[in-house]
Amino acid sequence: MTGSGPTSRSASGPASGPTSGSAARYDRVARESADAVISGYSTSFGWATRLLARAERSDVRSVYALVRVADELVDDPHLGPDPALRRRLLDGLEEETLSALASGRSANLVVHAFAGVARQHGIDGTLVEPFFASMRADLTRSDHTGRSLEEYVYGSAEVVGLMCLKIFIAGDAAAYERLSPSARRLGSAFQKVNFLRDLADDYDVLGRRYFPQVDPARFSDAHRDELLDDIDDDLAVAAAGIAELPAGSRRAVLVAHALFGALSLRLRQTPAAEIRRTRVRVPDRQKAVILLDVLTRDWRPGAARQRRTRPRSSA
């Protein structure tokens, strides 16, 4: 791997001896802690990451574990209604993360795992800081304008897609530049699907309204379709970039894309009044079918064109 920053191994000291062994053990425990966070919170994401190559799977889970912890600090009801405590905890997590990016070490196991991955793949403050800015926005903003929503989605989702892309392309700067727009559109689609699916809880429980053109109290089928048209456009653009990903990551991202595409379709088939009351989900049986379809099809670049142009047998 040839990320732009120093690797976590080089930051840990000599490559041999007792100190190195202790550091390697701590690194391993940190990654196992990140795995535990993902296993405890995410089902669809867990399904998709199992298709990644082993090293990429661990790296991506380490990124998402930090994302999950930050999200919990924002939304955990046990922290009470005072946003000041959440703000202090979130600021502390960001400070610890940025410090670990510089040093390669952290007493927080999830942060330590993230920092090791980030330093290996060149993930720096230009991606980390917008993420935490969006998390803080949830503590102070209940309504969004078109501009503030763009900024929020960029920080809360698109930069996470860019972090994953850095892992997938392993230091290929040209590939990162070429595929970044698709990665951002995929992250945007995922986030906006979640906004729509969680419309009831976000508005009724958390008091948030993400879509500036939609009043949840007057949510209609026309609103639903307008939002889903935008989401499906994002998914379509993202699909072209996924086809160019390295083989070690392509199938996993295709599964995630297909799962959210299925959720988008299910939301379109659900009356707006029901979306306003309940959380729509893709049944596990359908997820299994999607997984099987992705596993059994040839997703290599050009394979779809070859299937379309292959002459039919005369038999």
Per-residue pLDDT, 76: 84
Cα–Cα distance between 308 and 315 in angstroms, integer? Answer: 18
Per-residue pLDDT, 232: 97
C-alpha count within 13 angstroms, C-beta hemisphere, residue 37:
25
| pLDDT tens series, the chain, 315 aa | 434 443 333 344 444 444 567 889 999 999 999 999 988 886 667 777 888 988 899 999 999 999 999 999 998 888 877 889 999 999 999 999 999 999 999 999 999 999 999 999 999 999 999 999 999 999 998 899 999 999 999 999 999 999 999 999 999 999 999 999 999 999 999 999 999 999 999 999 888 999 998 999 999 999 999 999 999 999 999 999 999 999 989 999 999 999 999 999 999 999 999 999 999 999 989 988 998 898 887 655 555 444 444 444 333
Q: Which are the contacts of 274, defined by CB distance < 8 A and separation ≥ 6?
A: 280
Per-residue pLDDT, 298: 61
What one-character-per-residue DSSP string does the chain give?
A: ---SSPPHHHHT--SSSHHHHHHHHHHHHHHHHHHHHHHHH-SHHHHHHTTS-HHHHHHHHHHHHHHHHHHHHHH-GGG-S-HHHHHHHHHHHHHHHHHHHHHS--SSHHHHHHHHHHHHHT--HHHHHHHHHHHHHHHH-SB--HHHHHHHHIIIIIHHHHHHHHHHHTT-HHHHHHHHHHHHHHHHHHHHHHHHHTHHIIIIIS--B--TT--GGG--HHHHHHHHHHHHHHHHHHHHHHTTS-HHHHHHHHHHHHHHHHHHHHHHTS-HHHHTTS-----HHHHHHHHHHHHHS--STTHHHHHHHSPPP--
Per-residue pLDDT, 82: 81
Domains and CATH numbers, the chain: 27-121 (no CATH), 141-295 (1.10.600.10)
**Burial readout 201-240 (b: 16 or more C-beta within 10 A, e: otherwise):** ebbeeeebbbbeebebeebeeebbeebbeebbebbebbbe
Per-residue pLDDT, 10: 39
Per-residue pLDDT, 168: 97
Per-residue pLDDT, 311: 43
Beta bridge partners of 143: 209
Per-residue CA distances from 75 to 111, 116, 188 (Å): 19, 27, 20
C-alpha 27 chain-centroid distance: 22
C-alpha count within 13 angstroms, C-beta hemisphere, residue 96:
19
Per-residue pLDDT, 39: 86
